[in-house]
Amino acid sequence: MKIITAYPPNFSVLAKRFPIKGKQGILYAWGDRIYNPSGITIPPWLKAHEGVHGERQGGMCDMGLCWTTPAVWWDLYIHDAEFRLREEVLAHRVEWEAYPREVSIENHQKYLDQMAERLSGPIYGDLISKREAIEMIQGRMEPNGETNETNRNNPRPC
């Protein structure tokens, strides 16, 4: 994905809906681009997260909804909390998979906690609890609240 040090085309709409004004380090996928207005160094696991969004913005049908462009995807994301949660859970799971395994267990758990705080926080609309975010990131729970018994019986180590 191409990295662009600027705000995405829909930033003014996003800033009206989400508490992102003045926040540093927020990344935005738009098709094959990652908008990085803060100019941060983007680690591979965050590139993987944004890559999920970029790929899905290219057009598909999911959850009974269809979209064909990043603009339509973003419109759904902004106005449909269930869609937004599903998209973020998918991206956060890929981010978690991409996070380096060679770090200590303590650092690994700390990053999972940071991800869960982000996913359960105001930037995404305070849609779930931190505990639910951890369960969803690890694949033990789906965004609709259903548990995945296979993953629950075989949890992925931190």
Q: Read off the tokens for 151.
A: 């993953």
> What's residue 125's pLDDT?
92
> What's residue 156's pLDDT?
38
Question: Residue 132 in contact with residue 83, Cβ under 8 Å?
Answer: no
Q: At what angle do helices 105-119 and 130-137 cross, to 10 degrees?
A: 120
User: Which stretches of the chain drop beneath a pLDDT of 70?
Assistant: 148-158
Q: Which of 87, 33, 89, 95 is nearest to 60 (CA)?
A: 87
- Report d(CA 158, CA 155) in Å as an integer: 9
> What's residue 153's pLDDT?
39
Helix (H, G, I), strand (E, B) or coil at 41: coil
